[in-house]
């Protein structure tokens, strides 16, 4: 994938188990004065309260998502939970690079590993690690967006995802938000130079 005007955009890949605080850190990173734009992912689930199409996600039906897979419209995609697809559209990255910005991804661990393989040395992958599984469990419960079974599933998935931590370029233990924010901004600033 190449953008116009010889601008070679870079990719900043932020991954974490659900509830580790990656979205909060991505939002903090986007507020730093860096030439970054957020890559809006595609998904096959219904919007949650307050979510907007093309702003929070590109929302597709399962059938539409599968058609886009066949058309090879994705850089990467996966079936995160049964019947629940997530992916990164090629046109989204092209859009960002055309604006002469670098792309920031907020993706799960499998998606992060796939994106790193795709972008290679033109990317940095950062794993946001919770201080402990107990803290992660508490964060998921406080969200109030999932029932007990869903939280249990997320924790089991998180435990598996933690085994892939060594596939990432950098690791940030998200214990103290201000420190984590400072660290992620420094890492990305250095990478973009």
DSSP states of 52-116 as a string? Answer: -BTTTBEE--HHHHHHHHHTT-EEEEEEEETTEEEEEEHHHHHHHHHTT-EEEEEE-HHHHHHHH
For residue 137, being part of any structural domain is answered with yes
Instruction: Give the C-alpha separation, 152 to 69, whole Å.
Output: 29
Q: How far apart are the first and last CA of the chain?
A: 21
pLDDT at 5 (0 to 100)? 55
For residue 172, being part of any structural domain is answered with yes
| 174, 184 contact by CB (below 8 A) | no
| CA nearest to 124, candidates 21, 34, 18, 3 | 34
Residue 80: give its domain's CATH number: 3.40.50.300
Q: Which domain holds residue 139?
A: 11-192
As a 3-state breakdown, the chain gives helix, strand, coil percent values, each rounded to 5, of 45, 25, 30
Which of 82-86, 136-140, 143-147 is least confident?
A: 143-147
For residue 34, being part of any structural domain is answered with yes
Please state, rounded to an integer, the average pLDDT across all residues of the chain: 91
pTM of the model: 0.86
Using the structure block, give the residue that is written with the tokens 């590993």: 113
What are the tens digits of pLDDT across the range 105-117? 998 899 899 999 9
What are the tens digits of pLDDT across the range 17-30? 887 889 999 999 99
What are the tens digits of pLDDT across the range 31-85? 999 999 999 999 999 998 899 999 989 999 999 999 999 999 999 999 987 889 9
For residue 142, being part of any structural domain is answered with yes
Residue 3: is its pLDDT beyond 50?
no
pLDDT band at 6 (very low <50, low <70, confident <90, very high): low
Residue 145: is its pLDDT beyond 50?
yes
pLDDT at 16 (0 to 100)? 92
For residue 4, being part of any structural domain is answered with no
């Amino acid at each position: 994938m190449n953008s116009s005007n010889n601008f070679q955009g870079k990719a900043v890949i932020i991954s974490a188990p659900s509830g580790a605080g990656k979205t909060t850190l991505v939002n903090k990173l986007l507020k730093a004065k860096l030439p970054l734009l957020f890559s809006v992912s595609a998904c096959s689930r219904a919007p949650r309260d307050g979510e907007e199409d093309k702003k929070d996600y590109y929302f597709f039906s399962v059938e539409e998502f599968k058609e886009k897979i066949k058309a090879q419209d994705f850089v990467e995609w996966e079936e995160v939970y049964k019947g629940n697809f997530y992916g990164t559209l090629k046109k989204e990255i092209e859009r960002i690079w055309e604006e002469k910005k670098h792309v920031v991804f907020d993706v799960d661990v499998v998606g992060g590993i796939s994106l790193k393989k795709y972008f290679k040395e033109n990317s940095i992958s950062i794993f946001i690690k919770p201080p402990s599984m107990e803290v992660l469990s508490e964060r998921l419960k406080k969200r109030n967006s999932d029932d007990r079974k869903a939280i249990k599933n997320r924790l089991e998935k998180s435990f598996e995802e933690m085994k892939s931590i060594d596939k990432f370029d950098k690791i940030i233990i998200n214990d103290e938000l201000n420190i984590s924010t400072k660290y992620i901004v420094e890492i990305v600033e250095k990478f973009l130079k």
